[in-house]
Amino acid sequence: MGEPAGRGPDTLGAGHVLGVDSGGSGLRIAVARADDAEARPLAVRASDEPVRTGPAGIDAEHLLSQLLPAAAELARETGADGFAAVCVGAAGMATLGEELRARLPDALATAFGVRRLALAADAVTAYAGALGQRPGAVIAAGTGMIALGTDLTPAGGWRRADGWGHLLGDCGGGAWIGRAGLEAALRAYDGRPGGSAALLARAEAVFGPVTGLPGALYPRPDRPAVLASFAPEVARCAAEDDTVALGVLRAAAGHIADAAAAVCPPGAGTTVACTGGLFHMGEPLLAPLRTALAERLPDARTAAAAGSPLDGSLAIAAALARDRLTLPTDRKLLQITRPAPG
């Protein structure tokens, strides 16, 4: 395969880079200049349609059918002559991205002269968005929950905790909190211990009579999202001092802090950053989380994330274009690929 017409040579740090963030709520794509150390987005495209995943993983065809036209538009809009590097961050990349690994390098090389490509788990783009290329730990929590940390040494690599999904873990994430809240509602309905009349009232307000809840939940393909949709009601009941709801959020905070402590590199002043929609729940979760983190990681500093996973994807692409990528590479979490020379 020859060099695509009209592309310049692979000059270090010149030109533009593309960052992609593919998740449950859709696809986001942005362009930055490769020589911008902060990799600020010049232009962004977002689609509400999540990329499909099947038994064989992320649907590469579906991703490419959205990515290539949007990237072409962004190139025209920013005057980019192809892209020096691309980072694709995606949920499920770690375990489900085989087809993508096989097809993406050539597709991007052909369309945009891309020579450097990073495939990243969404936890890695969340890390890069939150902390850049500093050592530390990120807690990424929405429907699920995962913690990822690194000391930036090749020997240390990435440390990952939880992120096992709603049946095996994701302890303290949105589905976990919502599920615990619904269980407490049904305990109240049954007259079992551990029930909360306030949560039962909220469950009936949201879902109707609870006897219909199993029939409404189990046939749905998006059960974790349905469970997570009840998490804000748990926060609301906790804010009104419901003992059971307070206990659910205290337990969630403990699980989240446990995961952070399992991956955070040692050393005073290490930063632990929180990112993701779960933290929009505010003080009912954040107050017990500060307490739990202070107990487990007394020397660490807790910070809000500096940027989003899309910012992290752009930062990785820009660092890759300038040969300045210091985050650890890893077959499952952050893989750098280059198409075969033409």
Q: Which residues bind a second copy (CB under 8 A)?
A: 55, 95-96, 160-162, 164-165, 167-169, 171, 179, 182-183, 186-187, 190-194, 211-215, 217-219, 223, 227, 258-259, 262, 332
Q: What is the largest CA-CA distance in the chain?
A: 73
State how far the Cα of 279 lies from the Cα of 259, in Å rounded to an integer.
Answer: 16
Q: Of 47 and 207, which CB lies nearer to a second copy in the complex structure? A: 207
CB of 75 to a second copy, least distance (A): 35
CB of 221 to a second copy, least distance (A): 11
Q: Of 81 and 258, which CB lies nearer to a second copy in the complex structure? A: 258
CB of 73 to a second copy, least distance (A): 34
Through-space distance between the first and last CA atoms of the chain, rounded to whole angstroms: 5
State how far the Cα of 197 lies from the Cα of 272, in Å rounded to an integer.
Answer: 36
Query: Contact at 8 Å (CB) between 196 and 233?
Result: no
Q: Of 171 and 327, which CB lies nearer to a second copy in the complex structure? A: 171
Q: Of 194 and 282, which CB lies nearer to a second copy in the complex structure? A: 194
State how far the Cα of 342 lies from the Cα of 336, in Å rounded to an integer.
Answer: 18
State how far the Cα of 97 lies from the Cα of 60, in Å rounded to an integer.
Answer: 8
Q: Of 13 and 57, which CB lies nearer to a second copy in the complex structure? A: 57
Task: Kindly report the number of other CB atoms within 10 A of residue 156's CB atom.
Answer: 13
Query: Contact at 8 Å (CB) between 106 and 71?
Result: no
Q: Of 118 and 146, which CB lies nearer to a second copy in the complex structure? A: 146
CB of 80 to a second copy, least distance (A): 37
State how far the Cα of 185 lies from the Cα of 227, in Å rounded to an integer.
Answer: 13
CB of 201 to a second copy, least distance (A): 17
CB of 186 to a second copy, least distance (A): 5
Strands 85-90 and 116-121: parallel
**Placement of tokens 């979490």 in the chain:** 333
Q: Of 257 and 316, which CB lies nearer to a second copy in the complex structure? A: 257
Contact partners, residue 243, CB within 8 Å, separation at least 6: 196
- In 135-250 the beta strands, taken as DSSP E runs, fall at 136-141, 145-150, 158-162
Residue type at 171? C
**Placement of tokens 């029939």 in the chain:** 215
CB of 39 to a second copy, least distance (A): 31
Closest CA to 165 of 232, 91, 230, 233: 91
Residue type at 54? G
Q: Of 79 and 219, which CB lies nearer to a second copy in the complex structure? A: 219
CB of 49 to a second copy, least distance (A): 21
